[in-house]
Structure 1
Amino acid sequence: MTSPHPLSPGAAQALDAFQQAGSWEQRARLLMQWGEKLEPLSDSQRVEENRVHGCESQVWLVAEQVDQQWQFRAAGEARLIRGLLALLLVRVNGLDSQALAQLDLNDWFNQLGLARQLSPSRSNGLNAVLKRMRELASAA
């Protein structure tokens, strides 16, 4: 299933890079590289109010809406989680609330070739992050 919402240039770049990676080892290396691109959150943003519950490792999420489009920033303690967060952010940043509500997270990670490597706890954690994004969007 393809998304009814076009990919941003960053999401298209991620999809291209991951589809060209021939093995899990190459995708894992790419995942770590994407995680290193995450803009760090300040100590004042790493507070309980911004923590996403439902993740095994600690994850913080902040959101800002600019001209009806959402911009999220996130941080996580584990390297692999940071990579997954970066790939989630590149897919959701710039979406409006309706597009965010319709996003198929499993489809996105399937397209990237990462869905099979997501443990149930990581998958649940990513879904918790997306759920929190949707809560922030609907509260705005």
Structure 2
Amino acid sequence: MATEKFEEIVGDFEFLDDWEDRYRHVIELGKAMDPLEDALKVPATKVDGCASQVWLHVTPEDGRFHFSGDSDAMIVRGLIAVLHALYDGVAVDKVPAIDAQAELGRLGLNDHLSAQRSNGLRAMIERIRATAAAA
């Protein structure tokens, strides 16, 4: 059920031998993302439950789920980029069917993130799912 963009990340992770390289790749994905406009970094877009500052701006359009995001932590920006690859462009009604934990498990993220980062990632996924359900 994963998007083509997410499958590319899975392929990249399979090519990378160790977690340090994968960690760097996640950071690079975050660096490649366009920053969220400061005007969108407001309480309504802020994600609670994350150790760092995180904002997700969702814009469902023509039945498709689109979002952008940002964080003050580079690894979290990278995690946002991974979630973007997983969810952006998916039909809004298909978002709840995506098993994000299983998909992210394919990257080994569940085993290599701190408890705080894992909680923040879950909070971002919950926000995405709740926003899609409300759309």
Range into which the TM-score falls when normalised by the shorter chain: over 0.9
Looking at structure 1, the residues matched to 108 and 132 of structure 2 have their Cα atoms a distance apart, in angstroms, of: 28
Aligned residues of 1:97 and 1:134 also touching (Cα < 8 A):
no
1:34-69 CA-partner distances (Å, limit 9, x unpaired): 111221111110111110111111100101112211
Within 5 Å, which residues of 2 pair with 1:89-100? 89-100=84-95
2:75 aligned with 1:76, yes or no? no
Secondary structure of the structure 2 residue equivalent to 1:17: helix
TM-score (norm: length of structure 1): 0.90
TM-score (norm: length of structure 2): 0.93
Gaps of 5+ in 1: none
Q: Could you say which residue in structure 2 is the equivalent of 1:130?
A: 125
2:54 aligned with 1:67, yes or no? no
Looking at structure 2, the residues matched to 39 and 110 of structure 1 have their Cα atoms a distance apart, in angstroms, of: 26
Aligned residues of 2:58 and 2:131 also touching (Cα < 8 A):
yes
Correspondence for 2:42 among 26, 42, 47: 47
Looking at structure 2, the residues matched to 107 and 138 of structure 1 have their Cα atoms a distance apart, in angstroms, of: 20
Runs of 4+ in 1 over 4 A off after TM superposition: none
Aligned residues: 135
Correspondence for 2:51 among 52, 56, 64: 56
How far residue 114 of structure 1 moved from its aligned partner, in angstroms, is 2.2
Aligned-residue Cα RMSD (Å) equals 1.2
